[in-house]
Amino acid sequence: MEAEIKGIKDETHDVKTFRLEPEEEIDFVPGQFCLVSIKEEGFPDDSKPFTFSSSPEKDFVEMTVKKVGEFTTALHSLEEGDKLELTEPRGKSLNFDESVDRDIVFIAGGSGITPFISAIRYSIDRDLDHNMTLFFSNREYRDIIYRTELRHIYEDYQRIKVVNTLTHEEPDHWDGETGLIDREMIEKHVDDLRDKIWYICGPPPMIDAMEELLEDMGVEETDIRFEKWQIPGKHD
Ligand SMILES: Cc1cc2nc3c(=O)[nH]c(=O)nc-3n(C[C@H](O)[C@H](O)[C@H](O)COP(=O)(O)OP(=O)(O)OC[C@H]3O[C@@H](n4cnc5c(N)ncnc54)[C@H](O)[C@@H]3O)c2cc1C
């Protein structure tokens, strides 16, 4: 279906959020994505997967896009009023809603935060009572998408904990973690690992490392949900 760009927000130096008005209502579950193509002249004739980053409770739809290659550069050059074509929502592995009856740990690398911000926003909109811990790994402070919103959520909701880690710098004012997410960091912030559902989203090497670590720490394979991103061709 066609969707018009109604607003564009700079989130970081290389990430933008697009607010879209689809011609029909889109019925998605937090964690789902769709294939996006550009309906304007002179743009690549291609479609790529992007996740809904807004809460399905809202009367708008948003997608947050990191510029990494040809298609995402083309998306970043679009303006309000330009049109996209979206497929129907798809994907199951990262879905979150009230049917999940355990506490949650999200592990996100960079733009892998998008399915989880949708889930967190939705859980706030619906006043759900899951305890949620978000580990959010970025290279540098300037890369942290939704930094202010996540800080407010952490301050305002006792049931939602946000653990930021930076892997490539430690600014003077930094009060989060540094380095890759490891056993020590997880044990410091999460009790009763085996009682949780674990969601992981980010670059494939990070997912492999986290899955191996969690299984080493005694988490059941069936309690780990993940989506590997940036595999060219996988969702074409
Ligand atoms: C289910 C799903 C949901 C997604 N949701 C989001 C989202 O919400 N937000 C978001 O920003 N991104 C999301 N992505 C990732 C996004 O789809 C890609 O970043 C996008 O398709 C890249 O397109 P591109 O043409 O700009 O870059 P490409 O040219 O396709 O390059 C993308 C990346 O892959 C690398 N690459 C390219 N070709 C190869 C190759 N042959 N071998 C190895 N590496 C290669 C490039 O260096 C670059 O880092 C999602 C991906 C999936 C699978």
Per-residue pLDDT tens over the stretch 175-195: 999 999 999 999 999 999 999
- Confidence band of 9 (pLDDT split at 50, 70, 90): very high
| Percent with pLDDT over 70 in the chain | 97
Residue 74 placed within a domain: yes
Say what the pTM is: 0.94
Question: Over 90: is that where the pLDDT of 233 sits?
Answer: no
What are the DSSP calls for 78-107, one per residue?
--TT-EEEE---B--TT--STT--S-EEEE
Question: Over 70: is that where the pLDDT of 56 sits?
Answer: yes
What value does the mean pLDDT of the chain take? 95
Section 126-152 average pLDDT:
98
Q: What is the pLDDT of residue 227?
A: 86
Ligand 1: does its nearest atom lie under 6 Å from the Cβ of 64?
yes
The domain tally of the chain equals 2
Question: Over 80: is that where the pLDDT of 150 sits?
Answer: yes
Q: What is the pLDDT of residue 228?
A: 80
Are residues 204 and 122 part of one domain?
yes
Section 124-148 average pLDDT:
98
**Final residue before a domain boundary, out of 53, 86, 119:** 86
CA–CA separation, 23 vs 92, rounded Å?
24
Are residues 217 and 108 part of one domain?
yes
Are residues 162 and 110 part of one domain?
yes
Pocket test for ligand 1, best of 34, 50, 114 (most atoms within 8 A of CB): 50
* Helices 147-156 and 114-125, axial angle in degrees (round to 10): 40
Q: What is the pLDDT of residue 236?
A: 32
Pairing of strands 83-86, 33-38: antiparallel
Section 82-88 average pLDDT:
97
DSSP-assigned letter for residue 128? -
Ligand 1: does its nearest atom lie under 6 Å from the Cβ of 235?
yes
Residue 12 placed within a domain: yes
Ligand 1: does its nearest atom lie under 6 Å from the Cβ of 49?
yes
Burial of 185 (0-12, 13-18, 19+ CB in 10 A): middle
Atom of ligand 1 nearest to the CA of 66: 11
* Domain carrying residue 73: 2-86
Atom of ligand 1 nearest to the CA of 72: 26
Residue 62 placed within a domain: yes
Taken in order 157, 158, 163, 164, the sign of the CA dihedral is: positive
Are residues 217 and 114 part of one domain?
yes
